Structure 1
């Protein structure tokens, strides 16, 4: 489908790139997505809070299968140190998974327009077109190029070389546990609720998400947990980010690759600091992973025929539950702006940019405020529980 005669190149084939791809296709653009990884992307990040922008993006793209796209939690529990309930709060939310969102959108992008193992090395643009040059010597030319290549964005590095993500002072340990792998008492407490345990300079949370195969059937789903822990950048972070093969990772260590010593230390800290239900949840996790919490904000998102979207432009801390939905919001607004400007890419980007910068700045600031309050009220170190 190329009703407009216009073509877009998207650099980055994860969620941000897929949102842009499905929404531009929906307004009549031909879209080609170029992903640097040669492998199928999988399980990056585990659970996601399903926000209205994501639902709107799916609806605009004509994606209806799989709805409601997540597991409903009707309330929040805050636990005491002994695992009993300190506070109950009614709050209905739908919780989904990275895998479900990715799989749903990938099925709506024709295979011949999703290219893997493509490393961008250079951009060239003039008044008529923009060209991407890849490490394998191939090129692609279009009317518009979208940098949706995440925290480590090559597009951003080419356009704004002095802007890079900054470590926020803490990491998120994360894990997924199949429903059948948790003892019944703990599972009953955790199921279809957002459960938190907070203690000085840290907190852990969990919720149920679709299963590995996107299943929403009770018994086939997963518990998803996230635990925020402070580590000093100079003396500790490098150790946490060195994987079991001795490779120092940039920002995260994926499932199955955490070094044995790091995993063991995490379990020991869990047994010391966490409420018993969360101790059991962490203990039941087969392949925990770790992600650094980052801050990034850019002063510009539109560069002639090139746009930065999603985490390539702004990384809000995960306490906002808005990183994925921000990518969807960027893409919705971009599609609208292009339609309003008769599919003139430079004019569309120019009209689009100001509001997206405002959104990014707002989420960035809110996330920082939430994180600073959670993690650094008692200095920058780690507590032994509360």
Structure 2
């Protein structure tokens, strides 16, 4: 008796969104191949993230083995003023982890032969119920499904929706990672086991502990993760995005690429605007990096047998703490919808239509929330009773209220 071949998915993008999609679909009985344009490992990218329930559910479904513990717990949320006085404190336990920890865990859950680095996707064509993805190298890959998980500047989205492009929100996130023992003791004592914030007129900072470079969670081997949101005009942003080698970057400025003059200016600005704890974080960071905050939301996610997930489809502002969770939920729900063993009797196209309707709605809820939170944070310092900030604990498995 001949066995039916497994349905085949071609995933564009080997970052977290693509890895969530690949591992989840494999768990649902699909054969998956992942193509990433970068020839290098991506585990040095990214910083800290809040470990949301959607991420844990997707990892469990996919059979990915997360370290135990998978992050660092914080119990108290504190708000500091310019003089480092605690002006508000809330009991809000949660877990923070590292982007790199999740990346390694999801990547290790896939067979090495299904990951193809250094392959740049350029276009595709639909051939009946199949798609053919074409790459810069001349390679062509055929599948039953083409998944665009290639991020904010998705090539697949550019082909499908050329008018949907990222819109700069008027401010950036400066970020940094500091080895736990490299932070001066007064700042470390203020931050330890806490999720800390400092708000000012038109700027906002936050900080928390995450696992170390190789996922260590032992005291002394972890890292401090900080973010400082600041406003810049588009002209200033364009100058900031020229890296230390003179190359103009369109997306973000990764660690090690920032011009020394800009590092010096950032530290001077921290002296002028931040309290002692957050100034210590900035001063202790060897290689700050920067990410412009953008808004993007595709009106559709499914185009025949091609579809968009994660940041390729919608980008929630980071105040929602939901970008990674959204990518995980997109992938997990897609796998549940396309598990051909579930006996629903629906075709792949019917399943995709149902999946899309719910995911587009969730994307709208999350992006609308992020814009609202950003407006409150980046205008004037909000009253204590109205502060909303990153790590709100939102799960997109249920409607946001």
Measured against the shorter chain, the TM-score band is over 0.9
Q: Deviations over 1:220-268 (max 9, x none)?
A: 10000000000001x3111111100111111211000101111111111
Aligned to 2:395: none
Q: Deviations over 1:155-191 (max 9, x none)?
A: 1001001111010000000000000101122112112
Aligned to 2:12: 11
2: CA distance, partners of 1:357 / 1:4: 31
2:64–2:108 CA contact under 8 A, matched in 1 = no
Aligned-pair distance for 1:342? Answer: 5.8
1:4–1:29 CA contact under 8 A, matched in 2 = no
> Mind listing any 5+ residue stretches in structure 2 that lack a counterpart?
382-401
1: CA distance, partners of 2:174 / 2:348: 40
> Mind listing any 5+ residue stretches in structure 1 that lack a counterpart?
379-386
Aligned to 2:254: 254
Aligned to 1:116: 117
Aligned-pair distance for 1:359? Answer: 0.6
1: CA distance, partners of 2:179 / 2:4: 45
2: CA distance, partners of 1:175 / 1:342: 50
Structure 1's 307 and 343: CA in aligned 2 closer, same or farther, altered over 3 A? farther
Aligned-pair distance for 1:84? Answer: 1.7
Aligned to 1:100: 101
Aligned to 1:148: 149
Structure 1's 20 and 250: CA in aligned 2 closer, same or farther, altered over 3 A? same
Please, what TM-score do these two structures have when normalized by structure 2? 0.91
2: CA distance, partners of 1:336 / 1:118: 28
CA-atom RMSD, angstroms?
1.4
Aligned to 1:382: none
Aligned-pair distance for 1:373? Answer: 1.1
Is 1:352 matched up with 2:335? no
Is 1:319 matched up with 2:319? yes
Aligned-pair distance for 1:346? Answer: 2.1
2: CA distance, partners of 1:345 / 1:138: 26
2: CA distance, partners of 1:209 / 1:62: 23
1: CA distance, partners of 2:372 / 2:236: 24
Structure 1's 3 and 192: CA in aligned 2 closer, same or farther, altered over 3 A? farther
2:65–2:109 CA contact under 8 A, matched in 1 = no
Identify the range of structure 1 (83-92 vs 337-346) with the bigger mean alpha-carbon deviation.
337-346
Q: Counterparts of 1:196-275 in structure 2 under 5 Å?
A: 196-233=197-234, 235-275=235-275
Identify the range of structure 1 (102-111 vs 35-44) with the bigger mean alpha-carbon deviation.
35-44
1: CA distance, partners of 2:88 / 2:302: 45
Aligned to 2:336: 336
Aligned to 2:24: 23
Structure 1's 225 and 61: CA in aligned 2 closer, same or farther, altered over 3 A? same
1:231–1:237 CA contact under 8 A, matched in 2 = yes
Q: Deviations over 1:307-337 (max 9, x none)?
A: 1000001000000000000000101110111
SS in 1 for 2:290: strand
